[in-house]
Structure 1
Amino acid sequence: MSGMTQQGSLEEFVSLHRRLFVLTGAGCSTNSGIPDYRDSDGNWKRTPPVTYAAFMGSEATRQRYWARSLVGWQRFGQAVPNDAHRALARLEQAGRSEILLTQNVDRLHQSAGSERVIDLHGRLDIVRCMGCNATMPRGDFQHELGHRNGAWLALDAPDAPDGDADLESDDFAAFTVPSCVACGGILKPDVVFFGENVPRDVVDEARDRLEAADAMLVVGSSLMVFSGFRFVQAAAKRGIPIAAVNLGRTRADDLLTLKVEDRCEAALSFLL
């Protein structure tokens, strides 16, 4: 692995490749006020997020999830892109980005102007019924949650990564979670929870785009989640060079051509 960590070498890496497969993670959005999950060693900083099985299997888990989400969304829903998002949008506008595959669910890449984006883990601004597949905007659901649970809106708690809040001691059993108006089914954010599979067509599209790429650029991800890491493995298997910008360890350190340990917006500032 290269010992080079200067921005100059990243600029050189980007200039040498015409079709970059860009993979982004939570580190891209920390400067927009959305916390990340892991420390510099790649370990959890907080309780791991709710699993799919727990959410679907327990009313109490859904009450806790949506109570925390009601409080957290008030800030998460207002988050705006930072210079890292803008730099990657500029990369696409310059015709250098084959695809941007993001593990984030905040849609900030799209807000910054990126158009060729695959949301690997879905999007938090949509709520989907697990019964009939109907969808609604998260803002509409927020209004309904707030209407039924008004007192909770006044609570303040630290932000957590998935648009919820670190709310713990309150009596979640009193929280009312609406069901789907069409079929009475369970409503879930349209994101891939832990223990849930990324939809096959999303994986296939990303794989196809990787086949067309001539290098990979990882931005702000420790790659500890396999759904993202497997694309780095696939790039390494194809033999294309891989650069990563991340503060701290990544699961792919031994596969990298270049690693830049810096904040995403600082490392990518040459694009702006």
Structure 2
Amino acid sequence: MITSDVETGRRRLAALIEGASVVLPFTGAGISTECGIPDFRSPGGVWTRNAPIPFDEFVASRRARDEAWRRRFAMEEEFGAAQPGRGHRALASLWRAGKAPAVVTQNIDNLHQASGVAAEDVVELHGNTTYALCLSCGARYELAWVKERFGATGHAPDCGCGGHIKTATVSFGQAMPEEAMRRAEALALRCDLFLAIGSSLVVWPAAGFPLLAKRNGARLVILNREPTEFDEAADLVVHADIGSVLAAFVSH
């Protein structure tokens, strides 16, 4: 069924959640837009203003590293001030209730953790922009440290080992995190209800998880403002505001 009516979508989603034993939420940028975080692909999104910097360019060029960090700090207000929205809080409620063992996300904003889901139960397929890592030794750096040194020199700092420091996100051309991908696959095969929320479902291999779950016998729900290529395969599709649909599932 495909609907754009919030109440109809909410009612049918509630019935599917009630009948499920293991729910797996899978989230994309659409769940965070009501929190003030812009998405990347839509008209007016981040990538229409600045083309993404590929991983190999970041590694090879100091100028690219400087520009990557300039952009990150320019967006700090958007990321730093953002608070979990109704969708995040609803999924945290499902997690606390024991319905959802984890949340798999394509997002890098840390809002699922901020909503109360334990960090170890948030499977981040594209990393996290709220801290940084050395690409050589893996040392963790807090953004305040990087910002201080960037501001003092105008250049992206390097690690004590000589390696380049980058936000802990996955850039174009960078390998996907193997452990996160394995966990997401195992969760997709375990669930009997897969909730694809706020994702355009065009970024592979992550976009394959909804179909993997569906082919393994799970029900598939897609909640997204715009149509996706997988709508016809889903048991329920709701083209409506995500927060409005999920607000009823927030437990206080």
TM-score strictly above 0.5: yes
How far did 1:235 drift?
A: 1.2
Q: Does 1:132 align with 2:137?
A: yes
Q: Secondary structure at the match of 2:75?
A: helix
Q: Secondary structure at the match of 1:65?
A: helix
Q: Which amino acid in 2 is paired with 1:107?
A: N
Q: Which amino acid in 2 is paired with 1:177?
A: A
Report Cα offsets for 1:119-146 as digits up to 9, x if no partner. 1111112211112221111232223223
Q: Does 1:254 align with 2:241?
A: no
How far did 1:18 drift?
A: 2.1
Q: CA RMSD in A?
A: 1.9
Aligned partner (choices 84, 93, 97) of residue 94 of structure 1: 97
Q: Which deviates more, 103-112 or 222-231? A: 222-231
1:196 aligned partner: 174
Verify the 8 A CA contact 1:132 1:183 in the aligned structure 2.
Answer: yes
Q: Which amino acid in 2 is paired with 1:179?
A: D
Off by >6 Å, runs of 4+ in structure 1: none
1:159 aligned partner: none
TM-score w.r.t. structure 1 length? 0.83
Verify the 8 A CA contact 2:189 2:212 in the aligned structure 1.
Answer: no
2:215 aligned partner: 237
Aligned partner (choices 65, 68, 71) of residue 65 of structure 1: 68
Q: Does 1:209 align with 2:187?
A: yes
| Counterpart Cα distance in 1 of 2:191 and 2:143 | 34
Aligned partner (choices 112, 120, 123) of residue 118 of structure 1: 123
For residues 7-86 of structure 1, what are the structure 2 equivalents within 5 Å?
7-39=10-42, 45-86=48-89
1:177 aligned partner: 156
How many residues get paired? 242
| Counterpart Cα distance in 2 of 1:72 and 1:207 | 32
Verify the 8 A CA contact 1:10 1:260 in the aligned structure 2.
Answer: no
Verify the 8 A CA contact 1:19 1:97 in the aligned structure 2.
Answer: yes
Q: Secondary structure at the match of 1:216?
A: strand
TM-score w.r.t. structure 2 length? 0.89
Q: 1:251 to 1:45 in 2, by over 3 A?
A: farther
Q: Which amino acid in 2 is paired with 1:212?
A: R
Percent identical residues:
31
Q: 1:46 to 1:234 in 2, by over 3 A?
A: farther
Report Cα offsets for 1:63-122 as digits up to 9, x if no partner. 211111122224312221111111110111111113210111111011010122111111
| Counterpart Cα distance in 1 of 2:182 and 2:73 | 34
Q: Which amino acid in 2 is paired with 1:260?
A: V
2:198 aligned partner: 220
Q: Secondary structure at the match of 2:206?
A: helix
Q: 1:88 to 1:242 in 2, by over 3 A?
A: same
| Counterpart Cα distance in 1 of 2:152 and 2:84 | 29
Q: Which amino acid in 1 is paired with 2:233?
A: L
Q: 1:242 to 1:48 in 2, by over 3 A?
A: farther
Report Cα offsets for 1:121-173 as digits up to 9, x if no partner. 1111221111222111123222322333xxxxxxxxxxxxxxxxxxxxxxxxx
Q: Which amino acid in 1 is paired with 2:141?
A: M
Q: 1:3 to 1:83 in 2, by over 3 A?
A: closer
| Counterpart Cα distance in 1 of 2:170 and 2:76 | 18
How far did 1:197 drift?
A: 1.9
